Amino acid sequence: MHYIEPHAHMVSRTTNDYQAMAMAGCAAICEPAFWAGFDRSSVDGFRDYYRQLTEYEPARAAKFGIPHFTWLCINPKEAEDAGFGREVLSIIPEFLNAPTVLGIGEIGLNKNTKNELAIFEEHVALALQHDLPILIHTPHLEDKLKGTRLIVDSLKNAAVNPAKVIIDHVEEHTAGLVLDAGFWAGMTLYPESKCTPARAIDILECFGNENIWMNSACDWGISDPLAVAKTILEMRKRQFTPDLVQKVVFENPKKFLSQSPNFRI
């Protein structure tokens, strides 16, 4: 069964991970811009990172027959310095015409600060200016519910079309808030935090299978680039039909991502 990995930080992964994902049936990989495992100190550092996302990673994935797409932003972990954030924002338009760029992301909040919210709103304005989809990061643990509410309120104030926004890392206490507001919801499958496969399937059973996707968000921490493929097996054990599994892991992300003219598989 084919699936789409809609959120993976492949710059942090080995080439063996690409090979394993190809063998597991991955039909496309989408890589949001995020933290490098350390705070970058210059705009040129981000320019090199955007080149890596738009040039090097697509070539690495292509060796295994997997199309690679990307999203661009300065991530919320590095957005507390608003002046620096705006400098980085100013170079993003240089890369928006790259053939594999899908939109703006993963933007959002980390500690729910005033500066993070200001840079988030400026990212949203950039996306609206270029009519691009948006991928959003929600905070971890005790900050998640408050941060998700702040994000939803900010998007409503900006009159963003919710169908072009996916709010990622939802859990049991935020999935309804996101879906009820008309946004797409992403569930991240982590071994030690966010959603285990069993929890993600529970959320599907509670909230339905419309406007929702699953991703590994594999990065520099404890994470699994095959998390979606492994969750397919768990869905089969729960007696999900093949058509329903395919809808969640392939058709749903394809539907959302196809709002970008650059997404073709």
Local mean pLDDT, 10-residue blocks, the chain (265 residues):
96 97 98 93 96 98 98 95 97 98 97 97 98 96 94 98 98 97 97 89 97 96 96 96 98 98 95
CA-based nearest residue to 34, from 60, 4, 71:
71
What pLDDT shows up at residue 194? Answer: 83
The model carries a pTM of 0.97
What pLDDT shows up at residue 193? Answer: 78
CA-based nearest residue to 97, from 261, 264, 265:
261
Q: Is 198 helix (H, G, I), strand (E, B) or coil?
A: helix
Tokens of 263: 């997404």
Q: Classify 78 in phi/psi space as left (phi over 0), alpha (psi -120 to 50) or beta.
A: alpha
Q: Is 123 helix (H, G, I), strand (E, B) or coil?
A: helix
What pLDDT shows up at residue 195? Answer: 93
Domains of the chain (ranges, CATH numbers):
3-257 (3.20.20.140)
What pLDDT shows up at residue 247? Answer: 98
Tokens of 36: 């490098």
What pLDDT shows up at residue 4? Answer: 98
CA-based nearest residue to 64, from 109, 22, 28, 119:
22
